[in-house]
Structure 1
């Protein structure tokens, strides 16, 4: 009986699209690993907007409609087993990583099997919860900066919704370029925006950014509430709008629209890889701040997702598994 129990794990799943009510725990067989994979005992996983977009059916063209589905993409934990062709890790290593296919797989379980190329050794100076917060949001920030092109001290950048997980990484990474960054956030988040490197902070509860006279070279809408149509009002003639929260239909249409305007609409999709993570690990080792708004225990997973979906918090929200 004990041996059988060791083959079973708990996981968060859902069997139809919907709000947090569709989430439930289930007992599943612990995954087996391929030669190129590692088995990770998960200690924490992060919550990202993509989780509820997929769960609500907004991304079904890419996620499909096959159930049950898991949730969660990035995680941190301890390697429990390694495949025969894996040489860069050993059992007991503390790591963080991301599942292979965020549209069809999930990290919301006690164990996960992933290719060794999608895990990295956890820095000793951060917690499991902080490490689990790096891959999706951190990679998105690195990708966004790459899509900004050549930026310097003369580049004016507006970051709307600047103090969530994505903004936390983006503001700190932008500091090294010396760009003139304006952060839009709430009253309670102003000090964090300043600490993370914003030159100017606008409190959206007191000021409508669309009514100001300033125009920007780059606008990135992390809140998903500004939109390209509104942003054009405060964009320079030759400028770009970065959209990290696109609807599926916006991905191909943004490419077509860009042929007819100098105000470009560019979609930002996060795809974690070694080159992105190297940049992030260097930043973490040089003191990059990873703020965790709240850590929920595994048993309170519904409350965790409700908290995350409500928004308005600083940094990241994570779930821990003991």
Structure 2
């Protein structure tokens, strides 16, 4: 189905002109992108706030991210295709899709439109709204590759999800159950019922000393701290994977991860995801089959993206903080 684009050639986009607290974020205008060969133009309906974006906006990674401003923000998106570039035959205008922008590029998903390669998106889950779907993207991709592919979590194995109520952990609990594991969620007591509702077999207070947790076949860590303490509680042949490192002690944290290689199967693996359309299609199938359900913590309009970032920074999040992009202007 062909749909005409609005006549306005500009779009709203969330940017920051310097590093700092959430209020450095504001809404600006930028030219609406045009899809190149092998790309589609997506009208974004929803995006989410991810921990890596918060750290980047704070300037704690500026040795890597540099000082070029203004900088757009946002990684994942859900929406619909409104224009096709050359050599695109897999998708049609009007398709509901979800995906991720290339983090190495300049585009951000917290915008009215994004032009993305067809390899970076798939059809969205048929029964979810864009806001609901967006909550499964980043966490689902990370958890699926980390648990299924990297550490080969097997049915019946015991897995500990550290940070089980957060944006990634809340989806990791569901992915682990989908893979047939016995899941223990490490979270605050205030979020225990929420984590159980996701399918966790047990929920343990995150203040519990690690030596009281017992042994696990797999530890899935979302924090990047106290890695040594948690690695000690791997069962024989156990595997540990972390999706973060201690940003306040990066040399020490990364050094320990590298040192752990000598422990063979008990090494700590650092996972940095590279999402793609094949993974998103798998996640969509899992969601449509009822294995994954949305994890919406809160929803903010694009104009209040600073408040959305502040919400994530305050902690205590249950699932994902979502940006509702709204209608084009």
Secondary structure of the equivalent of 2:273? coil
Match of 1:295 in 2: 299
Change (3 A) 1:216 1:123: closer
Stretches of structure 1 lacking an aligned partner (at least 5 in a row): none
Match of 1:257 in 2: 259
Change (3 A) 1:63 1:228: same
User: Shift of the alpha carbon at 1:215?
Assistant: 2.2
User: Shift of the alpha carbon at 1:59?
Assistant: 2.8
Q: Count residues in correspondence.
A: 316
CA contact (8 A) 2:35 2:115 kept: yes
2:57 to 55, 58, 65: 55
User: Shift of the alpha carbon at 1:130?
Assistant: 1.8
Secondary structure of the equivalent of 2:89? coil
Aligned pairs for 1:1-322 within 5 A: 6-101=8-103, 104-145=106-147, 146-153=149-156, 155-204=157-206, 207-212=207-212, 214-224=214-224, 226-236=225-235, 238-246=237-245, 247=247, 249=251, 253=255, 256-262=258-264, 263-287=266-290, 288-322=292-326
Secondary structure of the equivalent of 1:165? coil
Stretches of structure 2 lacking an aligned partner (at least 5 in a row): none
Runs of at least 4 residues off by over 6 Å: none
Secondary structure of the equivalent of 2:168? helix
CA contact (8 A) 1:37 1:83 kept: yes
CA contact (8 A) 1:136 1:271 kept: no
CA contact (8 A) 2:20 2:59 kept: yes
**1:81-115 superposed Cα distances (whole Å, 9 cap, x missing partner):** 11021111222222111102256431111111111
User: Shift of the alpha carbon at 1:61?
Assistant: 4.2
CA contact (8 A) 1:163 1:193 kept: yes
RMSD of Structure 2 on Structure 1 (CA): 2.4
User: Shift of the alpha carbon at 1:14?
Assistant: 1.0
Aligned equivalents of 2:259, 2:106: Cα separation in 1: 30
CA contact (8 A) 2:98 2:280 kept: no
Question: Normalising by the residue count of structure 1, what TM-score does the alignment of the two structures yield?
Answer: 0.89
User: Shift of the alpha carbon at 1:222?
Assistant: 1.8
Secondary structure of the equivalent of 1:92? coil
Aligned equivalents of 1:212, 1:251: Cα separation in 2: 23
Aligned equivalents of 2:59, 2:260: Cα separation in 1: 28
